[in-house]
Structure 1
Amino acid sequence: MVDSSTKKPNWLLRRPDPDAGARLFCFPYSGSGATMYERWPRRIGDVEICLVQPPGRQNRIREPHYETYERLAAQLIEDLVPYLDRPFAFFGHCSGALPGVEVTRQLAAAGLPLPQRLFVSAQVAPHDGPYGRLLELDRDGLRETLADLITNMGGTPSDTLLDFGLDLLIWDVEANKRYVVPAPLDIPCGITAIGWSQDNQIPFSLMGGWEAMTADCRSILLDGGHFAFLAAPPALLAEIARDLTGGAGVRGPD
């Protein structure tokens, strides 16, 4: 029998620190992998940043795509449970926010530990979607968008890189389209809905639906555009610390 404490996790880019006071599991958005958070600190005070790596990309490129958020959540939970032994939360931006919702729903259905908070950035509530500019683009439009994604993450969008990543982006967009939620989900934890003042893809005015999913929803508007979160702006980290730890023990990014 393999000891879960020594088993190399497939779904997390880094092995969680057993000494962390709390954990924030971060999901990548469509067409990208866990390294999109490379500019984020390893910790926000006592909160460890844990990077979720879905299959079909980067170090998991040879594995088949998950196809639906429901399947992603079911597979992820198997590896995640050993690390839910202390306060934790989920963060996702744009399409990356939706897997955190589905994982929370499945954790609750299974009677497993629940996150203290869902941090959803630049995304409409599931019952108000599927929504987003990417969902309306053809293959050529998605290729142009992928070039923008690579550039915003500090890379150079060469033809080879675009050819390599386009199919992944298409699969990810299809998974978003398939996540159809007809009515507000009952989410048994708090939600922090984060909008961005110069976001022309997901306007903050469209994010009000999150309030229908929990009795504890806090909506905030931060300065910046759609990709501002990639640089881990201090204002964003402060809001995460506020709602996950109440500010206690937060020394700032490490």
Structure 2
Amino acid sequence: MTTSPPARRHGKWLLRRPRSESAARLLCFPYSGMGASMYSRWPSFAGDVEICPVQLPARENRIGEPHYGSYERLAELAAEALLPHLDRPFAFFGHCGGALAAFATALRLHEIGGPTPACLLISSQVAPHDGPFGRFLGMSDGELRHELTTLTRELGGRPDPDVIELGLGVLRADLAANQRYHLAEPVMLRCALHAIGWSDDVEIRPEQMGGWRQYAPEGRFSATVLNGRHHTFLSAPDHLLAEFEQVMDKSLSAARSRENHDG
């Protein structure tokens, strides 16, 4: 008697199972030191686009797994694991360190000839050839503990010293990957790219994000500045969700037009 091979597990890389009826998906990569639960305040949909939080190794329900070590390795793992869920129009979103994880995964898919996002949405991060950049990269353990405590409260939680200490190890490993990530020059992707800056962000100023223009094909780069601070995105403010809807609609319409033209 033969047995069927076990089905591929969805739970490792996605916080929840994507809905088969969704017309498009927005896969959201977590901020440095955090897991997919940081998107717990976000709705399941932004308009017709399903929001799919991505879970990375070495945190939350994947705490027993080894850290990926570099964004290049993360991209290899993520591109393979997420492939079954890229069977319809999709986009990637990432904020700060999560933006680099999202970009590296999009780049990996581009390099292997896989499906690529209709749009890459980058929030509060400099382009890879302009980095590494950010005050977090030079912080002491004590300073990082303070940041994790603040972020925990931003997420509505009560900081627990043991949990903070566990998170510190993850954050250190994530920041090490960030410090090692640098491209000698921009790489042209096939997808549209939308840069999101925040008006009162003291970590990454909107004007520092201009280098991303060089990663998008002609006419497929856009940028906006939304009202808010570095962590405003955590609460899924209406103006951010509206931005997602507008950009996704534009990107998907452009993709359909190109397909019809090529056909």
TM-score range (shorter-chain normalised) is over 0.9
Paired residues for 1:28-47 under 5 Å = 28-47=30-49
Equivalent residue of 1:111, what SS?
coil
Which stretches of structure 1, 4 residues or more, deviate above 3 A after TM superposition?
1-4, 6-9
Give distance in 1, aligned partners of 2:64 and 2:170: 12
2:25 aligned residue: 23
1:9–1:79 contact (8 Å) kept in structure 2: no
Q: C-alpha offsets along residues 143-192 of structure 1, whole Å, 9 cap, x if unaligned? A: 11111111111112232222121111101110111111111121211111
Q: C-alpha offsets along residues 216-253 of structure 1, whole Å, 9 cap, x if unaligned? A: 111100001001101111111111111112399xxxxx
1:217 aligned residue: 221
* Pairing partner for 2:246 from 219, 242, 249: 242
Give 1:8 shift.
3.4
Equivalent residue of 1:16, what SS?
coil
Q: TM-score, normalised by structure 2?
A: 0.90
**Aligned amino acid, residue 99 of structure 1:** A
Q: C-alpha offsets along residues 176-213 of structure 1, whole Å, 9 cap, x if unaligned? A: 11111111121211111000001011111101111111
Equivalent residue of 2:194, what SS?
strand
2:155 aligned residue: 153
**Aligned amino acid, residue 158 of structure 1:** D
1:252 aligned residue: none
Q: Structure with the greater relative contact order (CA < 8 A, sep ≥ 6): 1 or 2?
A: 1
With over 3 angstroms needed to count, the CA separation of the structure-2 counterparts of 1:185 and 1:224, relative to structure 1, is same
Give distance in 2, aligned partners of 1:139 and 1:42: 35
Q: Larger radius of gyration, structure 1 or 2?
A: 2
2:145–2:164 contact (8 Å) kept in structure 1: yes
**Aligned amino acid, residue 46 of structure 2:** I
Deviates more, 1:219-228 or 1:181-190: 181-190
Give aligned-pair identity as a percent: 47
Check if 1:105 corresponds to 2:107.
Answer: yes
With over 3 angstroms needed to count, the CA separation of the structure-2 counterparts of 1:182 and 1:107, relative to structure 1, is same
* Pairing partner for 1:197 from 199, 207, 219: 199
Give 1:3 shift.
6.5
Give distance in 1, aligned partners of 2:76 and 2:166: 27
Q: Give unmatched runs, 5+ long, in structure 1.
A: 249-254
Q: TM-score, normalised by structure 1?
A: 0.93
Count of residue pairs brought into register by the alignment: 247
1:241–1:247 contact (8 Å) kept in structure 2: no
